[in-house]
Amino acid sequence: MPKASKSAISVASYIGDVRTHIFKINPDPKAEMFKTVEEKGKQSSFAQGYVTLEYACLSCHASRDKEWAAGKAKGFHGNK
C-alpha cells in the first residue's frame, strides 16, 4: 500500500509516513488527495477517499508527472 497517510512527521513529497488502506485510485490529474478546510481560523486537512496519481505512481516513477500517469492509469484495475 502506498505511504500516503501522514502523521506529524514529514518524509518527502508524495510520500507519507504511514501506509494508507485506501485502494481506489483517482486517475484525474487534477484530483487532490487532501482537502484543506479552514474553520474558526484553524486549518485542517482531510483525505478524500481515494489515492491520487502522485501517491499511487510517482513515488516510484519520480521522473514522470501526473499527466503521464493519467494517460497510463486509465483502464487499470477498472479505473475509467
> What torsion do the CA atoms of 78, 23, 55, 37 make, to the nearest 10 degrees?
110
Instruction: List the beta bridge partners of residue 26.
Output: 52
Minimal distance, residue 72 CB to ligand HEC, in Å: 4
Of the candidate spans 6-14, 15-23, 36-44, 53-61, the one that interacts with ligand HEC by CB under 6 A turns out to be 53-61
- Residue 57 binds ligand HEC, judged by CB under 6 A: yes
- Residue 75 binds ligand HEC, judged by CB under 6 A: no
Q: Positive or negative CA dihedral for 3, 59, 37, 24?
A: negative
Minimal distance, residue 55 CB to ligand HEC, in Å: 9
Beta strands in 1-80 (DSSP E): 25-26, 34-39, 42-47, 51-52
Minimal distance, residue 71 CB to ligand HEC, in Å: 8
Binding positions for ligand HEC, rule: CB under 6 A: 25, 56-57, 59-61, 69, 72-73, 76
